[in-house]
């Protein structure tokens, strides 16, 4: 029987090639299987925010956009974390009860998968919004990089 750490290693090894290939295609401007869904969303966001995707962003504008995005992201993260921590405190103060059929065991592969999956989704939504890859790709396409 494989332990949860071994399962995690297997999952990581299996995901390296497909995710690496996908990221390569995204950052080099190639076609991906998500283009039919994400490109219209990206174009809509560009239109609403007034971004010209064909125009280069200056270092000053990039720095300002990066700092503003980081500030807003951090504030939103704290806005979500403070109520979550308050709720966690309430749960921690509850008296311990005996395990029943409805108790979720925390030493199983399923629990590890749910926690890791949730963490990946939260990180992706925090650090990879639809607009953020634009300046990164533009920077990587600049001559000399």
pTM of the predicted model, to two decimals? 0.40
- Tell me what pLDDT residue 115 has: 92
What mean pLDDT comes out for the span 54-69? 87
Q: Are 48 and 40 in contact (CB under 8 A)?
A: no
For the record, the structure tokens of 128 come out as 């990879």
Give me the helix-helix angle, 59-92 and 133-141, nearest 10°: 140
Q: Of all residues in the chain, what percent carry a pLDDT higher than 70?
A: 90
Q: How far is CA 106 from the centre of its chain?
A: 24
What is the tens place of the pLDDT at every residue in 92-145?
A: 888 888 888 888 788 889 899 999 999 988 887 777 665 566 666 777 777 775
The rounded distance, in Å, linking the Cα atoms of 145 and 81 is 37
* 39: pLDDT strictly greater than 80: yes
Q: List the chain domain ranges.
A: 4-92+112-141
């Amino acid at each position: 029987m494989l332990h949860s750490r071994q399962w995690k290693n297997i999952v990581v090894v299996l995901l390296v090639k497909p995710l690496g290939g996908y990221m390569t295609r995204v950052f080099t401007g190639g076609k991906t299987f998500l283009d039919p869904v994400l490109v219209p969303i990206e174009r809509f966001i560009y239109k609403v925010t007034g971004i010209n995707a064909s125009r280069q962003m200056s270092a000053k504008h990039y720095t300002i956009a990066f700092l503003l995005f980081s500030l807003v992201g951090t504030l939103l993260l704290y806005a979500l974390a403070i109520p979550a921590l308050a709720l966690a405190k309430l749960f921690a103060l509850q008296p311990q009860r005996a395990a029943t059929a409805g108790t979720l065991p925390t030493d199983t592969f399923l629990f590890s998968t749910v926690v890791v999956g949730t963490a990946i989704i939260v990180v992706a939504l925090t650090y990879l919004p639809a607009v953020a890859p634009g300046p990164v790709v533009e920077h990587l396409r600049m001559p000399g990089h």
